[in-house]
Amino acid sequence: MKMLALLTFFLASTASAAERGYSVTDFDRIRVDGPYRVTLATGRSPGARAFGSAGAIDALSVEVQGRTLVIRRGGQAWGGYPGQAAGPVELRLTGYGLRAAVLNGAGSLSVDRLRGQSIDLAVSGSGLLTVGAVEADRLTLAVTGNGRMQVAGKAATAWIAVRGTGAIDARELLVKDAEVAADGPGDIAVAASGTAEVVSSGAGTVVVTGNVACTVKATGSGEVVCGR
């Protein structure tokens, strides 16, 4: 009886664990809709591979629409066992590079590096978006909700905004000229070397470090620290 139970458990575990590859065309934008753990390695030909339970992967849609890779719930959740929780899905992506990324919901998106003239990154919801190294002429970082963003690298100009309880940690991002907007209790931190225009209308903390010329308009209760 014990051997039968162990065998049943082993077979169920083996059947429920799955991985699947996807054929994707070239993309320079990503949109993640849902609680998926997504990583992107740039500088490589486009590809995608999902890891998780069979049921969770069956319920996943990975497709390129125009130039945007869209990751969302879709398909048919036929895999797995009746009543079994689908569980999390990890998606490992490769691609040449990105111009924009949008994370909606409670998932995560981690990108190793980004380089381009104009790069736009946005989080809506409670997710986490991280970029190891970015190099851009114009950079936009926006968080709406209670999500978070962590970005390192450098940019000539940047527009950085938080609306809600979220946070943007760009202490390892060096910007020449920055425009910063905080609306709500969310926090923003960035480094600048030229000019910084800060508008704060909430209870959050805004910190701009560096030898920078600051213009500050604060109408809320939050603290604004600008300059060395």
pLDDT of 99: 98
3-state SS string for the chain: CHHHHHHHHHHHHHHHEEEEEECCCCCCEEEEECCCEEEEEECCCCEEEEEEEHHHHHCEEEEEECCEEEEEECCCCCCCCCCCCCCCEEEEEEECCCCEEEEEECCEEEEEEEEEEEEEEEEEECCEEEEEEEEEEEEEEEEEECCEEEEEEEEEEEEEEEECCCEEEEEEEEEEEEEEEEECCCEEEEEEEEEEEEEECCCCCEEEECCCEEEEEECCCCCEEECC
Domains and CATH numbers, the chain: 19-27+36-79+87-98 (no CATH), 99-228 (2.160.20.120)
pLDDT of 30: 99
pLDDT of 76: 59
pLDDT at residue 12 above 90? Answer: no
Grade residue 190 by pLDDT with cuts at 50, 70 and 90: very high
Grade residue 14 by pLDDT with cuts at 50, 70 and 90: very low
Is the separation of the CB atoms in 204 and 187 below 8 Å?
yes
Grade residue 44 by pLDDT with cuts at 50, 70 and 90: very high
pLDDT at residue 6 above 50? Answer: no
pLDDT at residue 106 above 60? Answer: yes
pLDDT of 86: 62
Listed range (12-26, 128-142, 148-162) with the worst mean pLDDT: 12-26
Grade residue 87 by pLDDT with cuts at 50, 70 and 90: confident
| 122-148: average pLDDT | 99
Per-residue pLDDT of 45-69, as tens digits, reads 999 999 999 999 999 999 999 999 9
